[in-house]
Structure 1
């Protein structure tokens, strides 16, 4: 079995309150012809109180080219990824040389060599390290990265894997995009990096892990390619964000979860813990209503959304860190790690506590 040993996170440099974000958007769009008075309440209903971004607010008042945005992405992504890795490995009492495989996840910037190569060079990981950069999974990327890490450490039980997810959603903001999707995204999305250290059960680090990964299930929902993603224009990556996402959660996720628990002869009532990507308060509420949860199972997801906003792929790993730090679980309790992303797609992992 694969074990989650530790998790670390690192926020972007600039702290932003929701009040500041709301005022910025109102002032920016008030003379644009958009009915901003009707839409500005989105900021009050998101439950986000604070988050981090990669540039001061003044920077976002000006138009920026895609190359300029991407150059900032590369520099900032390397810096905060390094911070998350350092925290993660320190908690595991591990060194960069102890990492056999690195999975790197992002969707908000482009680099070749990929960011993991910069990190390996800067931090002096083993020069024979195996690595897989993953791009384009969006909010599902953190959970999908865990699934791939689990598969590697199951196949090579003496090995370790470091998963790194970083997104700088703020750098994709386009001031000339007057769509409701852009305003919703601006009320919600943010920046951050997370790292998780996973060990095979024959690794010397396995005994330190108290989360055992059992299985995973990846799912594509046919006919939903336009639900979430990017459109590429002259200014960079333009958000595509459908209002139907909470409806999809209510209609399909319960059945999707039922698939993985049926494989293992379980019932929905056997699942005690949910480590779920906080896509937004409506998405969390859709999870709760479809699963019938009543005991605060999504409190960690709500906490991360409230304090950090939606960072896309790292968010579920922030929730995982909160779950590990909270330590409110006993032995042999079952849980699920869940996330949804472009495709439209779902990633679910079944785990057991120790």
Structure 2
């Protein structure tokens, strides 16, 4: 069965703390009639720090949708190669071993997809399949895992690469004073993550079953309104309570395959906010500590959209991983309202790895990939 290997995760070098975010909200929106509510919501996110692709002064400016999207493309091309190389190294593969690239992002747009640039630049074969996913938001990390699983099951022995590139700070809208948008200003962070799904071999989560669930008539709960200034994030007040509808989907999928969703050994869950995790723990009747990897991602990086599940999985690897055969659930939640759910178990031994010098990066590691934009990324291990 396909195996989801150790992810690589990189966060940009610029940071903003919760205290700095709250002070900015007080300063920028001093006259807002709902400021006390906004401050309380931001304070309750559980986010202590977030990473940004630009200094906060540049983040707060809005040079226009065109300039923002150009920044997205430049930053993606600067930061994706090293993360991809790290993910390939963890999986013991090289670019030429990859048969499918699933690229997920909801914070910028390019056509052709960045997958074409990656194939042309980073040493992938020209017959590598491309699967860009742009409109599943935070659920896209789970969707990428599930579509990679499906592909590797359909083509035994094939390998898939997942890349999640999210620069949420480039969606900041200074003139949008809706409560949902102001909350997002204190919740979302920037990150790039990548992971390989090996068709055979490898250490990590053996992907055994997957499923999707859509909450009926919830299309407007999480959405973008595309306006002249770009993507405007819309967040309905009903979103924090969605686990009442989504938890049964996890329970049902697990039960169909002879499992108890509340008695798994590990959980890799999208951390949209602390209430999502608290409610899911309650509905599944599991200890809150079982979601510690997701909580740590939320605390240290904020909601990094589709990259959350990969970072939470990275933290499970960093802890040493569970015992062989341990069972678990991976789940991403996002617009729709959509859940993408995987059932798996822990397997494998560390693969033989290619020399780092043989992993194609498209440019020497010591050389800046884009100038004069800042390009240094911290690879989270």
TM-score (norm 1): 0.94
**Unmatched runs of 5 consecutive residues or more in structure 1:** none
Partner of 1:26: 26
In structure 1, the residue corresponding to 2:24 is in which secondary structure?
helix
Is the 1:51–1:308 Cα contact (8 Å) retained in structure 2?
yes
How many matched pairs?
A: 347
Partner of 1:166: 165
| Residue deviations 1:73-121 (CA, integer Å, cap 9, x gap) | 1111222222321221122232211211111111111101111212222
Partner of 1:326: 319
Compared CA separation, residues 40 and 132, structure 1 to 2 (3 A): same
Whole-Å separation in 2 of the counterparts to 1:61 and 1:106: 21
Give how far 1:38 is off: 4.2
Whole-Å separation in 2 of the counterparts to 1:34 and 1:168: 29
Does the alignment pair 1:211 with 2:194? no
Give how far 1:295 is off: 6.1
Partner of 1:220: 214
Is the 2:225–2:233 Cα contact (8 Å) retained in structure 1?
yes
For 1:296, which of 283, 289, 297 is the aligned residue? 289
In structure 2, the residue corresponding to 1:329 is in which secondary structure?
coil
In structure 1, the residue corresponding to 2:297 is in which secondary structure?
helix
Give how far 1:122 is off: 2.2
Give how far 1:35 is off: 3.5
Is the 1:335–1:350 Cα contact (8 Å) retained in structure 2?
yes
Q: How does 1:53-68 map to 2 (within 5 A)?
A: 53-68=52-67
Q: How does 1:1-354 map to 2 (within 5 A)?
A: 1-31=1-31, 33-201=32-200, 206=201, 208-249=202-243, 251-294=244-287, 296-354=289-347
Whole-Å separation in 1 of the counterparts to 2:204 and 2:60: 46
Whole-Å separation in 1 of the counterparts to 2:288 and 2:34: 39
**Unmatched runs of 5 consecutive residues or more in structure 2:** 348-381
Is the 1:43–1:187 Cα contact (8 Å) retained in structure 2?
yes
| Residue deviations 1:271-296 (CA, integer Å, cap 9, x gap) | 22110011011111111111111161
Is the 1:6–1:89 Cα contact (8 Å) retained in structure 2?
no
Is the 1:159–1:199 Cα contact (8 Å) retained in structure 2?
yes
CA RMSD of aligned residues (A): 1.5
| Residue deviations 1:230-273 (CA, integer Å, cap 9, x gap) | 00111100001122122121x12221012211211222344221
TM-score (norm 2): 0.88
Compared CA separation, residues 340 and 269, structure 1 to 2 (3 A): closer
Give how far 1:188 is off: 0.5
Whole-Å separation in 1 of the counterparts to 2:233 and 2:262: 37
| Residue deviations 1:183-219 (CA, integer Å, cap 9, x gap) | 1111110111110111112xxxx1x323200010111
In structure 2, the residue corresponding to 1:6 is in which secondary structure?
coil
